[in-house]
Amino acid sequence: SGRDTPMKETKVLNYRRFVATFNVANTVRSDTDHYRCVIESEGGAGVSNYAELIVKDPPTPIAPPQLNSVGATYLWIQLNANSISGDGPIIQRDIDYRSTSGSWTDIQPVDSHQYKIGHLDPDTEYEIRVLLTRPGEGGRGAPGPPLIMRTKCGDPMHGPRNIDVVEIKSRQITIRWEPFGYNVTRCHSFNLTAQYRYAVGGQEHVGEEVCQETGHIQPQYTLRGLSPYTNVSVKLVLMNPEGRKESDELMIQTDEDVPGAIPMESVQGSTFEEKIYLQWKEPIETFGIITLYEVFYNGISSFDPEIDLSNQSGRVFKLGNETHHLFVGLHPGTTYSFTIRASTVKGYGLPITKQFTTKISAPSMPAYDYDAPLNQTDSTVTVLLKPAQSRGAPVSAYQVIVEEERPRRSKKATDVPDCYFVPIPYQNASISNSPHYFAAEFPPDALQVAQPFTVGDNKTYSGYWNAPLLPHKSYSIYFQAVSKANGETKIDCVRVATKGGATRKPSAEEPEKQTDHTVKIAGVIAGILLFVIIFLGIVLVMKKRIHNVPYKLNVSIIITRAETSH
């Protein structure tokens, strides 16, 4: 039942003895026993003595090595080879390590229980095993269980380089950079971030966007949502779990865009009767250089319904450095809409609209020949009243004013009369000694066409007494039209007639003045009669007692008292 095995080596001791050496392969521990060899030759066969076969298993660690620490280019391990399978003694320890993603392997002898494996690649997975060796040929055992561990990522070698601007628009920028690989990132997991910042209106805006991640190889990115015509600071940051490296900072100005709207609160208007001075400020967000302003105006309504607004519109253009305009030739009492928008080389921005209303004008009174009334008596003057032309607001009322011509208020025929804003009835004028009073007031409907009116007809018009004129006094008769709208009151007046005073004393006076004159005359007559009676009494008393001294004294006293009383 033996096996034929070739001899490995023979050694002759003498002519009767020699020693043969055999390699017994594929033995296991259960093959341990006593064996003898049988040798055959042409001359016969020989049998050796029994020899004991002892089978020893090469040592193999039971547990994998343990990790003490890890870095980007090294692994500190503990062999953990105290527990083994096989036979000792252990005369040599080795580390067998390889990359799991590659085909290469390396074995390093170890002379202690801990070992640092260096010169490894960052972010790379390695398989580490321990080899043990006992004495004798074939004493190295099989590798033990593996420790599979990945090194850490290394700090990037440098930041992105050679950043160029590919395209610039008003709200976006496209940039490109030099491609880089694992030798720069030193990690399979990384990202490239674009950090940017810019200031608008004194407020700083900061943003960050990931423009390249692991697996994305296009070295180009577009930043969107930027502010037009703004200096944007851009830099790229290469980051992995262990570190970061930045590129040089790049300053880029975005392109111009259409501007924002003009601030509504900046639009101010100074209104007059036939013009409006409009001024405004440039948009807060110009988004470029303002080259032009467009102002469109349109008349939309008027207090005077008779005004035709069909031709009250237009458009003006102002240069970028002009933020005001005087609009002339407008209608009084009219509301105008102004629409303003700014423009850059990219076009017009959003418009804003604001309204302003011109002031109303006084009604226009027709011309009068005040030296030629229709009729005149001692106490009346009849004139032809003509309707006024409204200007910006309809006529609210017509008023007739009588003014007494006094020396200190004398007026030339060419003087422009002052209009009368405070209505004073005849009764109040008498009390306050006012030189003028309101004789009548008419609603506008009462004077659609020219019609005569008698000043001093002793009638009441809208609460004003049209008192008779005094023949001996001179008067100026004024006629005025009043317009009221939007909190404004405008009046235009004209002298329609004059009346001179009579050269002789009048036979009839106004009731109040006649009463005062009668009282004065009666008082004078009564004083004269009293004086005559006292004088006669004194004379009679003196005649009766001319020789009596006390009588003389009494007469003196009486005369003195009488004189005192007089």
Q: How far apart are CA 158 and CA 243, in angstroms?
A: 10
Residue among 461, 468, 479 nearest 401 (CA):
479
Question: For residues 395 and 491, what is the distance between their CA atoms, to the nearest angstrom?
Answer: 9
Strand partners, 453: 383
β-strand pairing of 381-385 with 352-357: unpaired
Q: What is the DSSP string of 119-132?
A: SPPTT-EEEEEEEE
CA distances from 144 to 60, 356, 441 (A): 6, 95, 125
- CA distances in angstroms from 92 to 59, 122, 408, 535, listed in the order given: 10, 30, 141, 176
- DSSP per-residue codes, 267-286: -EEEE-SSEEEEE----S--
3-class secondary structure, 178:
coil
pLDDT digits (tens, 9 = 90+) for 403-458: 998 875 444 444 445 789 999 999 999 898 999 999 999 999 999 999 999 999 99
Q: List all residues 6 or more positions away from 544 whose beta carbon is below 8 Å from its beta carbon.
A: 551
Same fold: 161-254 with 264-357: yes
- The answer to whether the beta carbons of residues 243 and 220 sit under 8 Å apart is no
Kindly provide the b/e burial profile for residues 40-66, where b requires at least 16 CB atoms within 10 angstroms of the residue's own CB: eeeeeeeeeeeeeeeebbbbbbeebbe
What pLDDT is attached to residue 541? 73
Q: Which fold has domain 375-407+419-499?
A: Immunoglobulin-like (2.60.40)
Q: Residue 490: which residues within 8 A CB-CB, separation 6 or more?
A: 360, 361, 362, 363, 392, 393, 482, 483, 484
CATH class of 60-150: mainly beta
Distance between CA atoms of residues 122 and 524, nearest Å: 138
**Pairing, β 292-302 against β 334-344:** antiparallel
- pTM of the shown model: 0.62
**pLDDT reported for residue 540:** 77
Alpha helices, DSSP H only, in 421-548? Answer: 426-432, 511-544
Q: How far apart are CA 42 and CA 130, in angstroms?
A: 51
Beta bridge partners of 150: 125
Q: In angstroms, how far is CA 517 from the centroid of its own chain? A: 80
Would you state the pLDDT for residue 521?
Answer: 66
The whole-angstrom separation of Cα 63 and Cα 81 is: 7
The domain segmentation of the chain, as residue ranges, is: 7-53, 60-150, 161-254, 264-357, 375-407+419-499
pLDDT at 201: 79
- Residue 279 pairs in a beta bridge with 268, 324
202: part of which helix (H) or strand (E)? none
SS3 per-residue string spanning 153-166: CCCCCCCCCCCEEE
d(CA 420, CA 476): 13
**The CATH number of domain 161-254 is 2.60.40.10:** yes
Fold of 264-357: Immunoglobulin-like (2.60.40)
Dihedral of CA atoms 337, 342, 345, 349 in degrees, nearest 10, equals -80
Quick one: DSSP state of residue 414?
A: T
Query: What does the pLDDT profile of the chain (566 residues) look like in tens digits?
Result: 567 777 778 888 777 777 878 777 777 777 777 888 887 777 777 777 888 777 788 899 999 999 999 999 999 999 988 888 888 899 999 999 999 988 889 999 999 999 999 999 999 999 999 999 998 878 898 999 999 999 999 999 999 999 999 999 999 999 999 998 889 999 988 999 999 999 987 889 999 999 877 666 688 999 999 999 999 999 999 999 999 999 999 999 999 999 999 999 999 999 999 999 999 999 988 999 999 999 999 999 999 888 889 899 999 999 999 999 999 999 999 999 999 999 999 999 999 999 999 999 999 999 888 778 889 999 999 999 999 999 999 999 999 999 998 875 444 444 445 789 999 999 999 898 999 999 999 999 999 999 999 999 999 999 999 999 999 999 999 999 999 998 899 999 999 999 887 654 444 444 444 434 544 565 667 778 887 888 787 877 776 665 454 433 333 333 333 333 33
Tokens of 337: 């809409």
Q: How far apart (Å, rounded) are the C-alpha atoms in residues 494 and 481?
A: 9
Buried b (16+ CB within 10 A) or exposed e, 345-363: ebeebeebebebbbbbbbb
